[in-house]
Chain A
Amino acid sequence: MLKLMYLAITALVLVATGCDLFSENNWKKQLTHLIVLIPLILRILLIK
Chain B
Amino acid sequence: MEPELFILIAMMAVFALAVFAGKFPIGVSLVFAAVTGSLLSGFGLSLRHLVEGSISYLDPILIIITAMIFMEIIRETGALGEASRLIVVNLHSRPLLFLSAVTIFIMLPGMITGLSTASVLTTGAVVAPALIVWGIPKARTGSIIAMAALLGMVAPPINVPAMIIGGGVDMPYIGFGLPLLLATLPPALLVTFLLARPYFGRGSEEAIRNAFTDLPVHFKRWRLFLPVLILAVLMALSRIIPNDFTSMGMPLIFVIAGLSAYRSGLPFNYWKVIRVAVNKALPVMGILVGIGMFIQIMSLTGVRGYLIVNIVQIPSYWIFLAIMVTLPLFGAISSYGASYVLGVPFLLALLGRNEIIVASGLTLIASLGDMMPPTALAGIFAAQVVGEPNYFRILKICIPYIILTAVYGILIIIGANWLAKFLVI
A residues sitting closer than 8 Å to B (CB atoms) are 2, 5-6, 9-10, 12-13, 16-17, 19-20, 28-29, 31-33, 35-36, 38-40, 42-43
- For window 276-297 of B, CB contacts with A under 8 Å fall at 277-279, 282-283, 285-286, 289-290, 292-293
Give A6 to B249 CA distance when docked, in angstroms.
9
In this assembly, does B143 line the interface, its C-beta being within 8 Å of a C-beta of chain A? no
Pick the 7 closest A-B CB pairs, nearest first: A32-B286, A39-B55, A16-B278, A31-B28, A32-B25, A38-B54, A36-B285
Contact A2 B58 (CB under 8 A): no
For A31, the chain B residues whose CB sits under 8 A away are: 24-25, 28
The answer to whether A36 and B28 touch (CB under 8 A), given A9-B255, A17-B282, is no
Which of A19, A29, A32, A39 is within 8 Å of B61, CB to CB? Answer: A39
Q: Which of A5, A20, A38 contacts B289 (CB 8 A)?
A: A38
Contact check, B282 vs A33: say whether CB atoms are below 8 A apart: yes
Contacts A10-B62, A36-B282, A43-B58; is A28 near B275 (CB within 8 Å)?
no
A13 and B28 form a contact (CB under 8 A): no
* Given A6-B249, A6-B252, A39-B61, A32 contacting B55 (CB threshold 8 A): no
A42: contacting residue among B24, B31, B51, CB under 8 A: B51
The chain A residue with its CB closest to the CB of B285 is A36
Closest to B58 in A: A39
A10 to B249 CA separation, bound complex (whole angstroms) = 13
A10, B252: Cα distance in complex, Å: 11
Point out the residue from A2, A6, A36, A43 that lies within 8 Å of B286, measured CB to CB: A36
Q: Is the interface of A mostly helix, strand, loop or mixed?
A: helix
Taking a contact as CB atoms under 8 Å apart, the answer to whether B278 and A17 are in contact is yes
Q: Closest CB of chain B to A14's CB: distance in Å?
A: 10
Within 8 Å CB of B23, what residues of A?
A: 28
A35 to B25 alpha-carbon distance, docked (Å)? 11
Give the chain B neighbours of A2 by CB distance below 8 A.
248-249, 252
Task: State whether the Cβ of B17 lies closer than 8 Å to any Cβ in chain A.
Answer: no
B49-68 contacts to A, CB under 8 A, are: 51, 54-55, 57-58, 61-62, 65-66
A20 to B281, CA, bound (A): 11
- Per-position binary interface string of chain B over residues 239-261, scored 1 when its CB falls under 8 Å from any chain A CB and 0 otherwise: 00000000011011001000000
Most buried by B among A6, A9, A10, A36: A36
Residues in A with CB closer than 8 Å to B249 are 2, 6
* Set A6, A16, A35: member contacting B31, Cβ < 8 A: A35
B132 interface contact, C-beta 8 A: no
Bound: A36/B292 CA distance, A: 11
A15 CB to closest chain B CB (Å) equals: 9
Apart from A29-B25, A39-B61, A43-B58, list 12 A-B contacts with CB within 8 A: A6-B62, A6-B251, A9-B62, A16-B274, A19-B275, A20-B279, A28-B25, A28-B28, A32-B25, A32-B28, A38-B289, A39-B289
Chain A CB within 8 A of B379 CB: no
Q: Which residues from chain B contact A29 at a C-beta distance below 8 Å?
A: 25, 282
- Residues in B neighbouring A38, C-beta threshold 8 A: 51, 54-55, 289
> For the complex, is B27 an interface residue (Cβ under 8 Å from A)?
yes
Residues from chain A with a CB closer than 8 A to the CB of B289 are 35-36, 38-39
A39 in contact with B66 (CB, 8 Å): no
Q: Is B252 a contact partner of A5 (Cβ separation < 8 A)?
A: yes
Instruction: Note all chain A residues with C-beta closer than 8 A to B278.
Output: 13, 16-17, 20
A-contact 0/1 string along B15-37, CB 8 Å cutoff: 00000001111011001000000
Task: Give the Cβ gap from A23 to chain B, nearest Cβ, in Å.
Answer: 8
Contact partners of B248 in chain A: CB under 8 A? 2
Contact yes or no, A12 B55, CB < 8 A? no
Q: How far does the Cβ of B63 sit from chain A's closest Cβ, in whole Å?
A: 11
Q: How far is the CB of A22 from chain B (nearest CB, A)?
A: 11
Chain A residue with Cβ nearest B283: A32
Tell me which residues across on chain A come within 8 A of B25, comparing CB atoms.
28-29, 31-32
A13 touches B54 (CB 8 A): no
